[in-house]
Amino acid sequence: MQAFLSCKNEKEMSALLRDLLTFSEIVEFANRLEMARLLKRGHSYQEVADKIGVSTTTVTRVAHWLFQGCGGYWKTLKKLHQE
């Protein structure tokens, strides 16, 4: 956690994430945020699955953490919407 908090700006965070994650993991991370955004806007699981190109099982997992998790998705989506 401290490694992420120590990043001073977006460029440092990008460099850290690129070194830690594979390209596929970065894409998966971005897809999860997009799934959460679409679910928050009221799209059905099937609509989200079709748009992102994943199974409804994957969408269900994201929905679980979006609606029953610790609020991380909601806080992040709110901050992204403000920028």
The count of structural domains within the chain is 1
Is pLDDT at 83 greater than 80 in this prediction? no
Condensed to tens digits (0 to 9), the pLDDT of residues 27-76 reads 999 999 999 999 999 999 999 999 999 999 999 999 999 999 999 999 99
The structure's pTM equals 0.84
Structural domain boundaries enclosing 53: 2-82
In sequence order, what DSSP letters do the residues of 28-81 get, joined into one string? HHHHHHHHHHHHHTT--HHHHHHHHT--HHHHHHHHHHHHHS-SHHHHHHHHHH
CATH number at residue 68: 1.10.1270.10
Cβ count near 49 (within 10 Å): 19
